[in-house]
Amino acid sequence: MKITAAEALIRSLEMEDVSVVFGYPGGAILPVYDSLLHSKKIKHVLTRSEQAAAHAASGYARVARKVGVCMATSGPGATNLVTGIATAYMDSVPVVAITGQVSTSLIGRDVFQEVDITGATAPFTKHNYLVKKAEDIPRIVKEAFYIASTGRPGPVLIDLPKDVAETRIEFKYPEQIALRGYKPKLDGHPLQISRAAEAINKAQRPVICAGGGINSAGAEEELLKLAEKAHIPVATSLMGIGAFPEDHPLSLGMMGMHGTPYANIAVTESDLVIAAGARFGDRLTGRVTGFAPKAKIIHIDIDPAEIGKNVKADIPIVGDVKRILAEILKEVQPKQTSEWNDRIAELKKKSFLYNKNDKLCPQEIIEALSSKTEGNAIITTEVGSHQMWVAQYYRFIKPRTFISSGGLGTMGYGLPAAIGAKFARPEQNVINICGDGSFQMNLAEMATAMENNLSLKMILFNNKGLGLVRQLQEFYCKKRYSQVNFGFVPDFVKLAESYGIKAKRIDSREELDNALDELISEKGCFLLECMVDINENVYPMVLNGSPINEMIGG
């Protein structure tokens, strides 16, 4: 019995064990949405914008370690996905985005809601497809999920013209696929692995830099075993947060532009840096010529294009970081604590502190939340000062519990990502921490949370402006502040209540403890608005062109 290609698409998603899709319908993708009505396995979540659908798919993928799926129609529906697709690409998140397209006979004629979305997204997808033959749908879906989830994960887009979607075909889902030219290398070269182990055995001041690849690959156990066996301190990138428990004595926390002083100093003083699943982005390294000047570099990454791109690798190893760390572990000799560990302990005693004043400090809010949740929550963030304070002051002890936009720095990411995370782990407490600037970009997703009976918590830092941009203007524009103060902000408590969400506003530390207890214990959605000072900066801070050991503050 023949079925439409749209029905074949839905069946193919079911074959890939897809249980939830985030999206927004429209004219060109009507056949797909019509077919979706008959699926008993897939729940569709109607977001309030297409960008939010992509972010929700990203949050789901990162927490569930599965491919996230989002859908949109042609034209503006597809272009509204672009920011979410680019966000997933920069952070190596496996997402399959499905877009409707005008009929094939109309492509190229600038008809209503036509846009070349495959051309637009080519620079920031792993691969994309314009489906021209209906019978190709099962194969394309199989390939898309394989490409998105293997090697270095990333987004894949499938653009489906309406007439193709309506064409009837015999459905047969392929059991295997073979893609010429796409063979991700998983096993590291044995000689390079032995060289790495030898370098670790000889090193006097080694440091591990754990990146987002550890979280993606599920390599946290191998990382912990290696660190403990050789007593190696571990710093993380922003995306690597959670890969190593921050309550562990060997943890250095996050390194880089707003990293902990002891992480930045330790890397600068080290004689060996083991970069595992980290791409050496500019926010991590500071001035490259001043990065770890005394150290050899072991660089482990599944993407060969990242090796040597930003920092020269003395021992490059291409492959799956989980497998490679397991092999290195076999050849690494056990070590006891050393003078280097004593030096690290000394640095950590001089931990940076924020200055408490008579106002409610955002840092103490994060510290108090961390203490109350004890690491048993998934924290999503928007982008801004609050994101850095979360990275600095919340103690993450479990992998994939910090969900944030790193590479693209996308404001408006946190709330829809929290929705995706909650679908992935409904039993977990999911808390989105946001600033008033970022929150206003996707606040309509409160309706999505309520419609789906999700118990999401939100902590809103309201400083009536764009705090981190203001801080950059303080340092780079000689305190000439341009467009960083809001002349009007809504009443966020009343706004949340209009969505049926319980909400509370505090402006003093005396109110904090009870307010957090109320937020955590609430069975439904809850928004806690915290009034904070826009003059509160994020420290430490490494200025552009400086090495990471030259920090302001901290």
70: β partners: 22, 97
Q: What is the pLDDT of residues 174-221, one digit of tens each?
A: 999 989 889 999 999 999 999 999 999 999 999 999 999 999 999 999
- Alpha-carbon distance of 50 to 24, in angstroms, equals 6
- Report CA dihedral (202, 204, 205, 209) to the nearest 10 degrees: 20
CA dist list (Å): 413 to 307, 437, 468, 479:
29, 12, 16, 28
Specify the pairing of strand 251-254 against strand 296-301: unpaired
Number of residues that make up the chain: 554
pLDDT score recorded for residue 248: 97
3-state secondary structure of 307: coil
Stretches in the chain below the pLDDT threshold 50: none
pLDDT score recorded for residue 286: 95
Q: Are 548 and 257 in contact (CB under 8 A)?
A: yes
What are the residue boundaries of the structural domains of the chain, listed by start?
Answer: 3-169, 190-349, 362-531
CB atoms within 10 A of CB 550: 15
Q: Are 363 and 392 in contact (CB under 8 A)?
A: yes
pLDDT score recorded for residue 217: 97
- For 533, phi and psi rounded to 5 degrees? -90, 130
CA dist list (Å): 105 to 109, 111, 207, 377:
9, 11, 58, 51
Fold assignment, 3-169: Rossmann fold (3.40.50)
Residue 543 DSSP symbol: P
Nearest CA to 68 out of 172, 148, 187 is that of 148
Burial degree of 19 (CB within 10 A; 0-12, 13-18, 19+): middle
- Report CA dihedral (155, 161, 167, 170) to the nearest 10 degrees: -20
Q: What is the pLDDT of residues 81-133, one digit of tens each?
A: 999 999 999 999 999 999 999 999 999 999 999 999 999 999 999 999 999 99
CATH node for 362-531: 3.40.50.970
Q: Are 151 and 184 in contact (CB under 8 A)?
A: yes
Retrieve residue 62's tokens.
């990162």
Say whether 362-531 and 190-349 share the same fold.
yes
Q: Was domain 190-349 assigned CATH 3.90.76.10?
A: no
* Residue 97 host element (H or E): strand 95-101
Q: Are 182 and 115 in contact (CB under 8 A)?
A: no
Retrieve residue 443's tokens.
């606040």
pLDDT score recorded for residue 553: 86
Burial degree of 305 (CB within 10 A; 0-12, 13-18, 19+): exposed
Q: Are 263 and 252 in contact (CB under 8 A)?
A: yes
Q: Are 539 and 553 in contact (CB under 8 A)?
A: yes
Cα-atom radius of gyration of the chain, to the nearest Å? 24
- For 227, phi and psi rounded to 5 degrees? -60, -45
- Alpha-carbon distance of 306 to 381, in angstroms, equals 26
CB atoms within 10 A of CB 231: 17
Retrieve residue 371's tokens.
């203490």
